Homo-oligomer: A and B are copies of this chain.
């Protein structure tokens, strides 16, 4: 029954934090938190909870009137699965899925203009994202039980700052496609 993958634990974790939640709640919450560095589609947040109910890790309660929404809560087994996952040791394999970096990697096959544009756009995009994170950070600052959200968010902030420095540095060096 180890059909639990990372998405499963994200859902378990989100439900744990929200207490009782619909798929819609999960999506909204994710979009403003964990989704910043680990994105997934809305549809997954409808499909995955159903699976977890099958596994006995979530309870489902459907409203009898109105939108007849499905409300999920953690079962004891779900709580246990989540903490077991947290107890499991993790190596550091991480991926940075960034189209801009990929294009830089292959930039020798394109034009100088494309490279210059890429650099400019990346600086702009990361600057914009940094602003978004700063806004969220201020909002979080007031809430004492959001330390872990805040810590992870802080990582996002650092990443954006680093990216801006990285691309700005390339701009300064005026990297050339051909020598």
Contact with B along A93-115 (1 / 0, CB 8 A): 11111111111111111110110
Q: Is A152 an interface residue (CB 8 A)?
A: yes
Contact A13 B148 (CB under 8 A): no
Contact with B along A2-37 (1 / 0, CB 8 A): 000010011001001100000000000000011001
Q: What is the bound-complex CA distance between A55 and B82, given in angstroms?
A: 45
The copy count of this chain in the complex is 2
Contact A105 B13 (CB under 8 A): yes
Interchain CB contact (< 8 A) of A90 among B85, B100, B110, B158: B100
Contact B39 A101 (CB under 8 A): no
Known A-B contacts A37-B96, A89-B117; A105 and B152 likewise in contact (beta carbons under 8 Å): yes
Q: What is the bound-complex CA distance between A3 and B37, given in angstroms?
A: 26
Q: Is A136 an interface residue (CB 8 A)?
A: no
The residue of chain B having its C-beta at the shortest distance from the C-beta of A98 within the complex is B94
Contact B95 A39 (CB under 8 A): yes
Contact B147 A108 (CB under 8 A): yes
Known A-B contacts A86-B110, A99-B90; A105 and B166 likewise in contact (beta carbons under 8 Å): no
Chain B residues with Cβ below 8 Å from A175 are: 147, 151
Contact B121 A89 (CB under 8 A): yes
